[in-house]
A and B are shown apart, each in its own frame.
Chain A
Amino acid sequence: MKFSKKTLAAVIAATMIVSAFSACSSAPASTTAAPAATTTAAAAETTAAGGETEAAATEAAPSSISDSDRIIAAAQAGKVGNWGLGNEYEIFALLTKYGQENKFLSQAFDMDGFDDNSITLASAMTYNELGLVQNSYEGGYGYGDTVGIIDMNNEGVAMLEDNLFTTKAFAEKNPNTVKAFISASMKGWEYACANPEEAAQIVFEAGSSVSSDHQAYMASEVKKLVETDTTGNAVKDYGKMDEAAMQQTLDLAKQYIKLDDSTAADKLQALTLDDIRSTSYWTDALAGSFGAPEKTDVSIQLKWLPQAQFMGYFVAKAKGFYDEVGLNVTIVSGGGDIGETTAVNNGTVDFGVTWVSNLISANAGGMDLLEIAQVYQRSGLVLVYKK
């Protein structure tokens, strides 16, 4: 079975290459290129048609399918999508909950796979991909409310995402810098959540290339994640590290982060909350009890590209909150292969924004990172499906 699939792949690749070659090999033959192209396109159409009938079948009975049936069906068909690279643990937890194998398709950073039905249950962040799927502004797919979502918070498998962290060594050496940075950043988040539209505009002007429409959508969705906890209650203290949610994240991490390195795997199992976070800096920061910062020029690397996902920091910078506490802050874009955990650990930047699960695996691997504030209070990950 395994072998035949690979042979099939080889044969397909060979025929495609040969047909492409025969199309290009001689100038007059370019007319033959058209039929060759049409055959592949025709083949494409048949698969697309197959997809449509499937979609039609599901449409026939819209509300009768439960989420669990959906998850099981997609998992059985091997059509659950996620980006992987440390973003997959909540999906694993969900699949396990429904007794499915922990496997997923690597999803590209666009939603084309969801659009063309190669992925039927696609991962999406509420503030980003979900907006692109539903809305019809530039880059959007315009599905509107013909799509439904499965929320990780409701399924009880939520893991906390965007936080604020540094290294233990940096925090011990520069406690006032850390407190001042938390204080000004949380002020930025508070302002951003109170004025999401203005925040979106600030991020756009700071050099983000996400379109204004999508940026505004993102700001409004991020606000919800920052101000609501996993159970749906309002959170008043920005950056609060909720004990129960943190513990759930750590427990799920221990269960679903699979490390090949046995030393790291053992260390992961032994981690406690005190190994990954400290609440004292945040408490002092909010109380305003900190002195002059030891280090005034600091930088923060984001988990992803500059966008409203990180509006609090952009707002704090633009509104002068960092200046007020005597800090000169540089915001470094993320999203490359040099992750924020690596960059903070090797000292190229001082602070970082990452997902708690990524911080946990980094510490298991031997880094000494410390979470100092938890900005997102609930999981922003959902699985999106066509109704």
Chain B
Amino acid sequence: MKIIKKILNSKAFVTLVWIAVIIVIWEICATRVAEVKRTPENVLPHLGGIVDSLTSDRKINGSQSALEMVLENAGATLSRAAIGYVIGIASGFVLALLMSLSGIIEKIAFPYLMLIQLIPILGMAPIINAITGDIAISRIVIAAILTFYPVAANTLAGFKSVRREAHELMYSYAANKFQLYTKTMIPACIPYFFTGLKISAPMAITASILVDTLQGGIGLGCLLSQSLKGAMTRYVFWDIVVFSAVIGILSFYLMGLIETLLCPYKRIGKKG
């Protein structure tokens, strides 16, 4: 009895209930759609159909089934997203550090940092492509641009969160600037830094899919737009929608996991 109660109260169970609710609503709507539309898979297919399309070994192009195709393209997209993400994190962190070191840099950079968020980057993609001269590099660059703002903004907030007393204490220890940063500032900003990472992880993936659609080649976004343009069965499109949602959520939890593994404060917090 106790175990059942524990399961019923667990977080995972709650999430499962929600997923079940969504599935029920989806299926009800899909049934309606199937009755009124000639091509229901373009509007809302049954979930069973999506699962079927993933499990069937029918060849979509010359050599691959739907699942093989999605996985291969996902590999390309996710690796580009990961590279872009790492570059974005690194440049975001460095910029935040520079901004915290120098008031002038902060004043110059901060408004433009916000401005970058306001630029329709998809519209500028061909321009970035023309500048870099290589589609793969432009895709990585754009993913990096789209992810670095949350990291930079949150890390800067972290640096600013260091209390005046801590500063003064370090000062009284005659600590130099390097020590000040390694001993107090950087440890203090880590939780904020991870908040930035968690926000930007799913963004890196959606951004990467977005920029895939710019040109052909390999990638989830290319596959998605081909499927939308009727070049292959529409189920591939739905496969990708579901797949990207799942990966996006997983990436968020993955960052949380890394945070728990790397950061002592988190483990203590969990126990307490």
Contacts and interface: CB of A to CB of B under 8 A. Distances in A.
Interface of A: 23-24, 27, 30, 33-34, 37-38, 41, 44-45, 48, 108-110, 112, 115-116, 128-129, 132, 138-139, 141, 204-211, 301-302, 304-307, 332-339, 342-343, 346-348
B6 interface: no
A302 B229 CA distance: 15
Given A24-B25, A337-B122, A204 B61 contact: yes
A338 B129 contact: yes
Nearest to B32: A41
A153 B60 CA distance: 35
B75 interface: no
Contacts of B129: 338, 342, 346, 348
A305 B62 contact: no
Contacts of B215: 332-334, 336-338, 343
A90 B79 CA distance: 42
Point out which of A30, A48, A128 has the most chain B C-beta atoms below 10 A from its C-beta. A30
Q: Specify the main secondary structure of chain A where it touches its partner.
A: loop
A138 B234 CA distance: 10
Contacts of A334: 215-216
Nearest to A26: B21
Contact of B61 (A41, A109, A209, A335): A209
Nearest to B128: A338
B125 interface: yes
A307 B38 CA distance: 25
Given A210-B232, A307-B231, A348 B37 contact: no
Interface in B185-239: 213-217, 222, 225-226, 228-234, 236
Contact of B226 (A128, A302, A335, A346): A335
Nearest to A203: B62
Contacts of A209: 60-61, 69, 226, 231-232, 236
A116 B228 CA distance: 18
A27 B17 CA distance: 9
21 contacts: A23-B25, A30-B24, A30-B25, A33-B28, A37-B28, A37-B29, A41-B32, A41-B36, A109-B229, A115-B38, A129-B230, A204-B61, A207-B61, A208-B61, A210-B231, A335-B216, A336-B215, A336-B222, A337-B122, A337-B214, A342-B126
A48 B61 contact: no
B39 A141 contact: yes
Interface of B: 17, 21, 24-25, 28-29, 32, 36-39, 42-43, 60-63, 69, 122, 125-126, 129-130, 133-135, 213-217, 222, 225-226, 228-234, 236
Contacts of A110: 39, 42, 228-230, 234
A48 B37 CA distance: 10
A88 B236 CA distance: 29
B233 A48 contact: no
A338 B32 contact: no
Contacts of B39: 110, 112, 115, 141
Contact of B62 (A108, A205, A301): A205
Contacts of A41: 32, 36
Contacts of A108: 228
B265 to A, nearest CB: 36
A242 B228 CA distance: 35
B133 A347 contact: yes
Contact of A34 (B28, B62, B125): B28
B213 A337 contact: yes
Contacts of B21: 24, 27, 30
Contact of A139 (B69, B213, B230): B230
A338 B135 contact: yes
Nearest to B43: A112
A129 B21 CA distance: 38
Nearest to B232: A209
Point out which of B60, B62, B222 has the most chain A C-beta atoms below 10 A from its C-beta. B62
Given A337-B126, A342-B126, A207 B230 contact: no
Contacts of A343: 215
Given A24-B21, A336-B213, A337-B213, A305 B231 contact: yes
A138 B232 CA distance: 9
Given A38-B32, A346-B133, A109 B216 contact: no
A30 B37 CA distance: 24
A37 B125 contact: no
